[in-house]
Amino acid sequence: MSAKASARHLPLVGQGPVGEAHHRTKGLLRVTMACNERCPFCNVPVEDYPRPTPPESELEAELELFLASGERTLTLSGGEPTLYPKRVLMLTARARSRGVPFVELQTNAVLVDRELAVALAEAGLTSAFVSLLSDVPELHDELAGLEGAFARCLAGIDALLDAGVAVTLNPVIATQTQERVADYVEFVARRLPRVRVISLSAVQPHGRAAHGTSLLPDYAVLGEQVKLARARAAEHDILLINPYCGLPLCVGWHDDPSRSVEAIEAASRRELGGLAAHGIDNQGNKAHGPPCGGCALRTRCGGAWHAYWTVRGGSGLAAVEPRLEPWQQGADRAPAQRIVGAAGGLGPAELAAVRGATEPTVWLVTERLGEGDGSRLWSAGGTDLLLLGEAPALLDDAVTRAELRSIARDNHRREPQSKLRVVVGLRRLGSFRHAHQLLTEHRGDVDAVRLLVQGDQRLERFAAAVRASLGLDVTAATRAESALV
């Protein structure tokens, strides 16, 4: 399997309860929920399943549904699927004989001996996704909840590799291992040189981990570790991937979204255009938090697990690629954003420029809006809108104002990472009364208002009063800033 294909399919891996509901269409078949390990972080623990092992006929029916779906990658998982080796062999062989090009086994590898590895390879297994949880035997055993698991896991990996099955490692970084990510990569390069891919996941606070959030690693530590680990991996020509169960982009990945599954998927959906223009699917189990508002990567990153914001207070998350509003110094040179000007309104040339932009944040700067401009812009991949105007003229511009309302209605139905964000920049207020009327009438339609006029303390006081009374993000630009507009 090519690195690209493998990266695209990794979101199948280790999804939580919401992902579970969709597992059939995603090609994930859980052979049994029973397990020989007791990982304290397990996101699908056996105790949550009243009937851990379905009858074989049910698995066969699920396989038929998968085959009918036309998906190309089948992932056999559990629980521990190798507790039922005959079923794994049967499902693998049947899927391969019916034209499925990739069949992957998610396993802790403890039960994989040479005989089983050879049988799996003969059945057509293309890859194994193995939970090697640490380079330190005691830490691996603690996180696997099984004494002696480390040595047996390594033996299983060796057997799979000897049989010709490609192995991807999944360390599931926890608090106990958060400072050893680079060491893990070094260990793999030395002890398992035939392994070419590591999927750098981190504990997702679901299942057993929801009750033990002390396992949730600190992203402030991981940000540094991931950078070190990536450097080591590059030295050894190992591909490190940031899977759905991995890390937000600002935790060590912001400069290379091409290794982050969420970012890859978002960008490819954007290429498809239409309703899927903004492609993050965070399955409802991740959220953006305070730093994300100022981040130019929000359309490529689903944010952090809900529990991360509450348990760890968002530690280590920061807008490393800042979203600069187009009137701010350096906005046109910021690498993660593109600014498209449309002084005369949104026409075909501006839409083409928006469509051709590959940056995560794509601004349109315009002085007026026509009917339907908001949805045209959004469908083309526009993410942020700066409406530059003068308060008295905007009050008279019924078409632009109706469109602002329509954008707000559409935004109401979108996920935070997919909303078209709207900033109004006022280059002339007319009077405070004009400006106040305009902002009162549109307070629910815009995300922020910038007073881009030369002002004095009265302007500051006006901005503070509007913030307090309307709850709007209103700021007065400094003298130098407003001179740039």
Which residues contact ligand SF4 by CB under 6 A? 248-250, 288, 291-292, 295, 297-298, 301, 303-304, 317, 319
* DSSP letters for 48-76: G-SS-S--HHHHHHHHHHHHHHT-SEEEE
For residue 19, give the amino acid letter.
G
For the beta sheet containing 28-32, the strands, ordered from the edge strand earlier in sequence to the opposite edge, are 28-32, 73-78, 102-107, 127-130, 166-169, 197-199, 239-241
| Residue 354 CA to its chain's centroid (Å) | 23
Length of the chain: 485
Residue 42 as a binder of ligand SAM (CB under 6 A): the answer is yes
Q: Which stretch binds ligand SAM (CB under 6 A): 64-72, 101-109, 272-280, 436-444?
A: 101-109
Q: Which stretch binds ligand SAM (CB under 6 A): 35-43, 403-411, 440-448, 458-466?
A: 35-43
CB 336 within 8 A of CB 359: yes
Residue 141 as a binder of ligand SAM (CB under 6 A): the answer is no
CB 179 within 8 A of CB 221: yes
Question: With CB cut-offs between 5 and 8 Å by kind, which of ligand SAM, ligand SF4, none does residue 184 bind?
Answer: none
Residue closer to ligand SF4 (CB basis): 165 or 319: 319
Residue closer to ligand SAM (CB basis): 206 or 368: 206
- Rounded distance, CA 170 to CA 139, Å? 15
- Rounded distance, CA 360 to CA 414, Å? 17
Residue 131 as a binder of ligand SAM (CB under 6 A): the answer is yes
User: Rounded to the nearest 5°, which phi and psi values hold at 359?
Assistant: -70, 155
Query: How many CA atoms within 13 Å lie on the side-chain side of 131?
Result: 29
Question: With CB cut-offs between 5 and 8 Å by kind, which of ligand SF4, ligand SAM, none does residue 170 bind?
Answer: ligand SAM
Residue 242 as a binder of ligand SAM (CB under 6 A): the answer is no
Residue 78 as a binder of ligand SAM (CB under 6 A): the answer is yes
Question: With CB cut-offs between 5 and 8 Å by kind, which of ligand SF4, ligand SAM, none does residue 407 bind?
Answer: none
Residue 104 as a binder of ligand SAM (CB under 6 A): the answer is no
Residue 203 as a binder of ligand SAM (CB under 6 A): the answer is yes
Least gap, CB of 337 to ligand SF4 (angstroms): 13
Residue 126 as a binder of ligand SAM (CB under 6 A): the answer is no
Residue closer to ligand SF4 (CB basis): 253 or 327: 253
Binding residue count for ligand SAM, defined by CB under 6 A: 24
- Rounded distance, CA 241 to CA 390, Å? 48
Question: With CB cut-offs between 5 and 8 Å by kind, which of ligand SAM, ligand SF4, none does residue 297 bind?
Answer: ligand SF4
Residue closer to ligand SAM (CB basis): 131 or 134: 131
| Residue 445 CA to its chain's centroid (Å) | 27
Least gap, CB of 308 to ligand SAM (angstroms): 12
For the beta sheet containing 421-428, the strands, ordered from the edge strand earlier in sequence to the opposite edge, are 337-342, 361-366, 384-390, 421-428, 448-451, 474-476
Residue closer to ligand SAM (CB basis): 245 or 247: 245
Least gap, CB of 299 to ligand SF4 (angstroms): 8
In terms of C-beta density within 10 A (0-12 exposed, 13-18 middle, 19 or more buried), how is residue 263 classed?
buried
For residue 138, give the amino acid letter.
E
* Token code pair at residue 179: 């400072």
Residue closer to ligand SF4 (CB basis): 317 or 476: 317
Residue 92 as a binder of ligand SAM (CB under 6 A): the answer is no
| Nearest residue relative to ligand SAM (C-beta) | 14
- Rounded distance, CA 75 to CA 127, Å? 9
Residue closer to ligand SAM (CB basis): 127 or 482: 127
Question: With CB cut-offs between 5 and 8 Å by kind, which of ligand SF4, ligand SAM, none does residue 298 bind?
Answer: ligand SF4
CB 115 within 8 A of CB 122: no
Question: With CB cut-offs between 5 and 8 Å by kind, which of ligand SAM, ligand SF4, none does residue 282 bind?
Answer: none
Residue closer to ligand SF4 (CB basis): 197 or 249: 249
Beta strand spans in 110-193 (E): 127-130, 166-169
Q: Which stretch binds ligand SAM (CB under 6 A): 199-207, 311-319, 347-355, 368-376?
A: 199-207
Least gap, CB of 209 to ligand SAM (angstroms): 4
Residue 285 as a binder of ligand SAM (CB under 6 A): the answer is no
Looking only at the bridges linking them, the beta strands covering 239-241 and 197-199 are parallel
- Nearest by Cα to 403 from 417, 424, 418: 424
* DSSP letters for 289-332: -GGGGGBTTGGG---EEHHHHHHSTTTT---SSB---TTSTTGG
Residue 209 as a binder of ligand SAM (CB under 6 A): the answer is yes
Q: Which stretch binds ligand SAM (CB under 6 A): 202-210, 338-346, 360-368, 460-468?
A: 202-210
Residue 176 as a binder of ligand SAM (CB under 6 A): the answer is no
Residues that bind ligand SAM (CB under 6 A): 13-14, 35, 41-44, 77-78, 80, 106-108, 129, 131, 170, 172, 201, 203-204, 206-207, 209, 245
